[in-house]
Structure 1
Amino acid sequence: MKTKIFLLILLLAFAVQPNIHGLDSESPQAKKDQKALRHEVVVTLKLVQVFVTDKKGNPITDLTKDDFILYDNGVLQTITDFEKHILTQPEKKIEKQAEEKLEETELATSRKVPLKMNRKFFLLLDLERNDGLGIINSKKAALHFMDTQIQPTDEVGVFSNSLIGGLTVHEYLTTDHEKAKEAIKRIKGFPGGTEETNGLTRAEIEVMKQQIHRFIDEIREFAKSLRYTPGYKNIILFSAGIKRNLLYGDDPSLRLNLEDTTKELATSNSPVYTVNSKGTRAYLKDRWQRGGDSLKMISDLSCGKYFSNVGYYEKNSREIQNATSNYYVLGYYYTDEKWDGKYHEINVKVKRKGCVVHSQGGYFNPKLFTKFTKFEKKHHLINLAIANTPQFQTRLDLPLITLPCSEEKESNFVLLSEARLDEIEDIGGEKTEVVALVFDQEDNIVVSSRYEVDFSEFSQEQICPYAILSLSPGLYKCRIILRNLETGKGAVASSSVNIPEPQDSGRRLFSPLLLSPKKNVYYINASKAQKKEAGKEPLSLINIYPFLSREYSPLVGNLDKETSKLLAVLRSSNINIQKSDVELSVFLREPSSEKKTPLTYSILKGKKEGEKIDILLIELELPELQAGEYSIEIVAEEISTQSKSQVTRTFQVK
């Protein structure tokens, strides 16, 4: 997986913060060491993206590190790292971006910071200020840009805005461009329309204004969250814009709000390339009913460019390519960085005469996670959950199993993860949240639950976070996230699930919960708080799988190869079978082989849940295991009808 250029500013802070607990019990030497730590100087690599052209706008591509002069808040800096990114064929998709690393100063200590700053694009489709044809043309233009201009190293994010969903993340910054294109294709939603405001009542116009204010506010919060991502973040906005009579009417609040937000985008080094999705159809309306002026304002104030017709997508794509390619990256080390969120002004000059320099205006110091706004924390959580490599930190990945458990509409699905407390020592704290998120195929969050816990109270060696959720039939991506609410450090468990359609009759086996010999486990129900808020008694894992014990715990991660015995809690539904007589068979499928070995088993306990669900506790005798992937296969055959139901559960042996 390719590493991003992000400076991991949060991670740097965690590495240098002293432990403040138990200071009174420290030895004099420990206090001395602690004092020394407080005076340690933090050195941070800063990267600045610079475009240089001649006076005619043609890129100058033969400069070296010694041609540049860089100031940070008026202080001359020593440029230690230098890269040149040259795109030779902007009109065609090429396999490799020509890059020349001219010079790199060797450092005494490796800081694991990548010395490459890739281009970053956010494609934003505004469904709210659009009609059906405009949405179709916008998606066509976005896909054309992806197919013809995006380079292998470019990072692409896909967002949309709708009246109901607001600003929605479909794909965060990723170099998996096929995923980004699929995200564009999947974007759905009702067009907000671009009809005239003539004939609307004052109250209806006020509602429209409030909706526009909400969109502008969300964009401003998004811009603030981009402050801490190095380099330029190019936003391509497809929209019909805000009607001129609303923007320049008697009430100036919309215009002022839009101006402030656009300036925030410029400050966060996020130029917006606005594309009018109405195109020539806009000229069928009176000038005061068009949205082009608002789009031009956004592009002008953010240092982007306005494109008046989405239909000219080939020309538009080439111009965006030319404006964002052929750049230099200057790196310098800044000492004793402050965690105050303040702005640093950057000034870059070139010694060669006749050069025109375009560089980011500055950057913001990092700030503590506790100082994040509500939107920034939400942005941080989504980024942690779905990004290939999260922007703010190195993510700890945890195992996750998905267990459909019923054909009923309510509480028909279980998410279950596990983690050793020593493994998540930096994440678990006095204030830690456990969040369960489920995304549909369009990457919309369809189910979420959250529970806050105090990890300092745990005496167990291992935790099992879980959630009991209700899902309709379909394909889903699932996450359980642990996040420290004081530092922002997080761990993520990821998997996917297919919830089947209910069947009319017969027996259906659900994926078994396997139990291995393991003690001292603490269970955390992430869906507990939501059930209480809804006035319902929350279900716990033992309600779904009633044979849990202190001697055995769920097998979520790896199984020790010395294990000779497993337990399986098997749930099955019985639909319209009057006299059920079932014969079970259990097999072990070995790694890298089609060989199936019958397993000896014993049914230890049985229980009915209502009229339709049977629950069995089965003991499985295992043969000698080798490292690798295994599968437990369980087959249930109805003796009277000879109908079969089969389920498989895969696990790793180490």
Structure 2
Amino acid sequence: MKRNIVLVFFIVSISFCLLYAFQKQQKLQEPLEHEVTVELVVVEVFVTDKKGNFVDNLTKDDFEIYEDGKKVEIQYFAVVIPEKEIRKEEAIAEIEEREEPQRPKEMKLVILFDNLNTNRWYLNSQWPQIQEMFKALSGNVEETMIMELNRRSGPRIIQPFTSDQNLLSDVFSRFKVDMWKDFEKEVLKDQRIELSKEAQRPQKDRFIPNPEFIMKALREEEKYFRRQRLADSYSAFLAAVNQIRRFEGIKSVLLVSDGFPLGDREGFVKIFDPFRLFGGKKYFDQREAFDKFLKLINEEKLIFYAFSPGTKSVASREEWSKELFSLEQIAEETGGVYLRGAKKYENFVEVLGRDLTHFYDISYTPPETTRKSGYHRIEVRVKKPGLIVRFKKGYSDFTAEEQERKNDASAFLSPSFFKDIDFSCKTDVVSFGGQHPQFWVRLQIPLDQFREDQAVSPPEKLAMMFGINEWEKRKVHFGEVEIQIKDSLERGANSLYHAFTTSGIKLKPGEYETRVILKHPEDRIGGWEASLKIPDIKKKPPLSIISAILGFLRNEVKEDKIPFSISTKDGCLALSKHRLYASVKNVFNKRENVALYLQVYCPKQTQDFSPKFTLSKDEKVTLNLPSEKIDSFFDKKSKILNEVYLLDFQDILPGDYKLEMKSDEKHIKKEIELKIVS
């Protein structure tokens, strides 16, 4: 982690003038101001004696710091301990001597459940002890956040940062996990049963004649699952780190895991890395991938502590599995601790509880010879003998391009954290011409937010990234375009409407996570996310409503040659004599031309579809809504009936309503929430 310090140098220029061989008086010109940004590397150092007590009487001169083997000068030094432990005379002296205000030192705690690699039985059996440990640790920090690494969705925040102990206790008591290992065991168990049945069949009836081949196939299948779980562990863990780093302050991460399934050195693993955080390679030697992973997580102000619910006390380090070794490495590289043994929970309360409130905060300027992108090793030495010193072992310095990729990855995986740009978005599923379903995406961007910020010039354009995340299938589809906003700003428009559809992506029925990211040239980012389900229309009953989309109707002077298609120019729905601009917020003026676009599965073209529309409010008042069909088209390839109805809200009072569509067929029913304004 780097701290940016802005130094202002006053350069005094003195001019000398000689006139007629006489020396004139020196003239002092106006001082010139130049800003120079100096990046400081921040290191939290934990120093204890052999009994585990924090040593708080060290000074700046007791420390030496080396980066990549070169000694560096300490620029900032402070010992952080609770105020109640500072003697009054020391506090007064500290205030008098300090030249700059001390920044906040509160630690934040992140409890991260690695549900990809943790054994459910051990976690459940030790849950009361774990829960008590969590409660004790949460009381030592300003705020606590709870996260999990989920096999279906990757990283997921269960409880955002909070200081409410009752809320945290309630979350812990209700927390249920979805373990990858459980899924893996069930699959392997079923396969063992099938292979066992295969081995019991007569030789002539076997699909695999030799039983040894069956066992070999089973072992290979198990290795495949472990490699897949390892790759998912890297991807999910890095995504979690990218989420955590967005929060201010020092974060201690308590990792609950049985360790990463590292295999033999000659084994290779395929990394799901859509944003090229691993450098663009797809296949890595397992140890090479783990080393790269350690460097990536060590570039932020994160300190990892780890324990394994399934770990028993071991006699020596040689008995450790590769999984436990991975936990120790993660903790050691970031300056944390991996604890094991029968008393690990009690020890964690003592050790982590102490580290959360007692440490040395040190910053230094990296040497010029090493100031380039890449990984830099850190070594901290304490001159006094007999002390135990812990610190992060290095940090990664990224280029502007690498940092942008990291920001994109963070925004894509956790859009809800990015609120620098305000905008609304809505996405619906549509299908045309028997092709694969598409997402119809609309954005509404308020423009005053760019006019009001006097410190930043209004941008001419915004970069927009739209993506579809299929975490379980290890696929990410995304594209990036530019949205021009300069003309709209100059015209004085209140907001900008932008619409488009996806193309070239073969989307099958199922659940999808969609994301929209807007990026300002000044490193401001806004994010949006939603889950959408593409229905399998072949399994739908006849006359089922597939899509129901509200929008604004505009007259079209020239008839469109391709009715019921999305315009590539402005993203509207082209009709025979109109254009439909799909709504984003479903807020309508009662005097506007509001239309409803329906897509209905209709296996037989002759089937009659005559919907009736009603408005309900608070489930008490139901009003019949007048409507008029203005366009219709039956798509023979997809068996989808496309119809547009003009809705009449003239006599409707302002308020929030629920629009309900019904037909004579009982199963035909659809509801949309909307708001009418005067």
Retained in 2: the 8 A contact 1:504–1:575? no
2:178 maps to which of 167, 182, 186: 186
- Please report how far the alpha carbon of residue 192 of structure 1 lies from its aligned counterpart in structure 2 after TM superposition: 6.5
Q: What pairs with 1:96-107 in structure 2 (closer than 5 Å)?
A: none
Retained in 2: the 8 A contact 1:601–1:618? yes
1:516 aligns with 2:502: no
CA distance in 1, matches of 2:97, 2:335: 32
Superposed CA offset, 1:570-599 (max 9, x none): 22334679752525123264xx78434433
Q: Aligned-residue CA RMSD in angstroms?
A: 6.6
Letter of the aligned partner of 1:236 in structure 2? Answer: L
Retained in 2: the 8 A contact 1:135–1:191? no
SS at match of 1:279: coil
2:516 maps to which of 473, 480, 485: 480
Determine the structure 1 residue equivalent to 2:250.
231
- Please report how far the alpha carbon of residue 221 of structure 1 lies from its aligned counterpart in structure 2 after TM superposition: 6.7
Determine the structure 2 residue equivalent to 1:462.
497
1:382 aligns with 2:412: yes
1:631 aligns with 2:617: no
- Please report how far the alpha carbon of residue 556 of structure 1 lies from its aligned counterpart in structure 2 after TM superposition: 0.4
CA distance in 2, matches of 1:54, 1:228: 34
Retained in 1: the 8 A contact 2:79–2:360? yes
- Please report how far the alpha carbon of residue 633 of structure 1 lies from its aligned counterpart in structure 2 after TM superposition: 0.9
Q: What pairs with 1:41-52 in structure 2 (closer than 5 Å)?
A: none
- Please report how far the alpha carbon of residue 220 of structure 1 lies from its aligned counterpart in structure 2 after TM superposition: 10
Retained in 2: the 8 A contact 1:259–1:298? no
- Please report how far the alpha carbon of residue 200 of structure 1 lies from its aligned counterpart in structure 2 after TM superposition: 8.1
CA distance in 2, matches of 1:409, 1:136: 48
- Please report how far the alpha carbon of residue 428 of structure 1 lies from its aligned counterpart in structure 2 after TM superposition: 7.6
Superposed CA offset, 1:82-103 (max 9, x none): 9866899xxxxxxxxxxxxx98
Q: What pairs with 1:341-380 in structure 2 (closer than 5 Å)?
A: 367-368=399-400, 370-372=401-403, 376=406, 379-380=409-410
SS at match of 2:338: strand
CA distance in 2, matches of 1:333, 1:507: 70
Retained in 1: the 8 A contact 2:42–2:363? yes
1:645 maps to which of 669, 672, 675: 669
1:417 aligns with 2:443: yes
Q: Which moved more, 1:133-142 or 1:463-472?
A: 133-142
CA distance in 1, matches of 2:340, 2:649: 68
- CA 1:585/1:329 → structure 2, altered by over 3 Å: closer, same or farther? farther
- CA 1:428/1:143 → structure 2, altered by over 3 Å: closer, same or farther? farther
- CA 1:478/1:260 → structure 2, altered by over 3 Å: closer, same or farther? closer
1:308 aligns with 2:335: no
CA distance in 2, matches of 1:518, 1:340: 56
Superposed CA offset, 1:121-167 (max 9, x none): 36252746x767567679998777656644585354645497xx9x9
SS at match of 1:305: coil
- Please report how far the alpha carbon of residue 399 of structure 1 lies from its aligned counterpart in structure 2 after TM superposition: 1.8
Q: What pairs with 1:527-546 in structure 2 (closer than 5 Å)?
A: 545-546=573-574
Superposed CA offset, 1:519-568 (max 9, x none): 99xxxxxxxxxxxxxxxx99979999553988652220374647433122
Determine the structure 2 residue equivalent to 1:585.
613
- CA 1:431/1:646 → structure 2, altered by over 3 Å: closer, same or farther? closer
Determine the structure 1 residue equivalent to 2:206.
none
Determine the structure 1 residue equivalent to 2:155.
169
2:311 maps to which of 272, 279, 295: 279
SS at match of 2:409: helix
Q: What pairs with 1:70-109 in structure 2 (closer than 5 Å)?
A: 77=75
- Please report how far the alpha carbon of residue 119 of structure 1 lies from its aligned counterpart in structure 2 after TM superposition: 1.6
- CA 1:515/1:297 → structure 2, altered by over 3 Å: closer, same or farther? closer
- Please report how far the alpha carbon of residue 263 of structure 1 lies from its aligned counterpart in structure 2 after TM superposition: 6.7
1:608 aligns with 2:634: yes
SS at match of 1:582: coil
Superposed CA offset, 1:299-337 (max 9, x none): 44443333335x867446535642543247969999xx9
- Please report how far the alpha carbon of residue 603 of structure 1 lies from its aligned counterpart in structure 2 after TM superposition: 1.7
- Please report how far the alpha carbon of residue 647 of structure 1 lies from its aligned counterpart in structure 2 after TM superposition: 2.0
Retained in 2: the 8 A contact 1:49–1:330? yes
- Please report how far the alpha carbon of residue 52 of structure 1 lies from its aligned counterpart in structure 2 after TM superposition: 6.9
- CA 1:298/1:74 → structure 2, altered by over 3 Å: closer, same or farther? closer
Letter of the aligned partner of 1:380 in structure 2? Answer: S
- Please report how far the alpha carbon of residue 608 of structure 1 lies from its aligned counterpart in structure 2 after TM superposition: 1.7
Retained in 1: the 8 A contact 2:110–2:253? yes
Q: What pairs with 1:186-205 in structure 2 (closer than 5 Å)?
A: 186-188=178-180
Determine the structure 2 residue equivalent to 1:325.
356
- CA 1:421/1:268 → structure 2, altered by over 3 Å: closer, same or farther? closer
Determine the structure 2 residue equivalent to 1:569.
597
Q: Which structure has the bigger radius of gyration?
A: 2
Relative to the length of structure 2, the TM-score reads 0.58
Letter of the aligned partner of 1:175 in structure 2? Answer: F
CA distance in 2, matches of 1:200, 1:138: 35
2:528 maps to which of 461, 475, 493: 493
Retained in 1: the 8 A contact 2:566–2:574? no
Retained in 1: the 8 A contact 2:75–2:363? yes
Relative to the length of structure 1, the TM-score reads 0.60
SS at match of 1:372: helix
CA distance in 2, matches of 1:329, 1:652: 59
1:622 maps to which of 649, 671, 676: 649
SS at match of 2:575: coil
Superposed CA offset, 1:357-391 (max 9, x none): 866678777752x23386x35632335424xx34x
CA distance in 2, matches of 1:382, 1:395: 14
Letter of the aligned partner of 1:482 in structure 2? Answer: L
CA distance in 2, matches of 1:631, 1:646: 14
Q: What pairs with 1:333-344 in structure 2 (closer than 5 Å)?
A: none
Retained in 1: the 8 A contact 2:422–2:446? no
SS at match of 1:564: coil
Retained in 2: the 8 A contact 1:599–1:622? yes
CA distance in 2, matches of 1:140, 1:609: 60
Q: Which moved more, 1:596-605 or 1:52-61?
A: 52-61
Retained in 2: the 8 A contact 1:482–1:492? yes
- Give percent identity, aligned residues only: 13
CA distance in 2, matches of 1:643, 1:217: 46
CA distance in 1, matches of 2:2, 2:677: 36
Letter of the aligned partner of 1:325 in structure 2? Answer: L
CA distance in 1, matches of 2:657, 2:652: 12
Retained in 2: the 8 A contact 1:630–1:650? yes
Q: Which moved more, 1:411-420 or 1:597-606?
A: 411-420
1:556 aligns with 2:584: yes
CA distance in 1, matches of 2:483, 2:648: 36
- CA 1:137/1:48 → structure 2, altered by over 3 Å: closer, same or farther? same
- Please report how far the alpha carbon of residue 236 of structure 1 lies from its aligned counterpart in structure 2 after TM superposition: 1.4
SS at match of 1:379: helix
Q: What pairs with 1:10-21 in structure 2 (closer than 5 Å)?
A: none
- CA 1:424/1:580 → structure 2, altered by over 3 Å: closer, same or farther? farther
- Please report how far the alpha carbon of residue 620 of structure 1 lies from its aligned counterpart in structure 2 after TM superposition: 2.0
Which blocks of at least 5 consecutive residues in structure 2 are unaligned?
A: 7-30, 86-93, 163-167, 189-214, 268-284, 452-456, 489-495, 557-564
Determine the structure 1 residue equivalent to 2:424.
399
- CA 1:549/1:300 → structure 2, altered by over 3 Å: closer, same or farther? farther
CA distance in 2, matches of 1:134, 1:105: 52
Determine the structure 1 residue equivalent to 2:52.
57
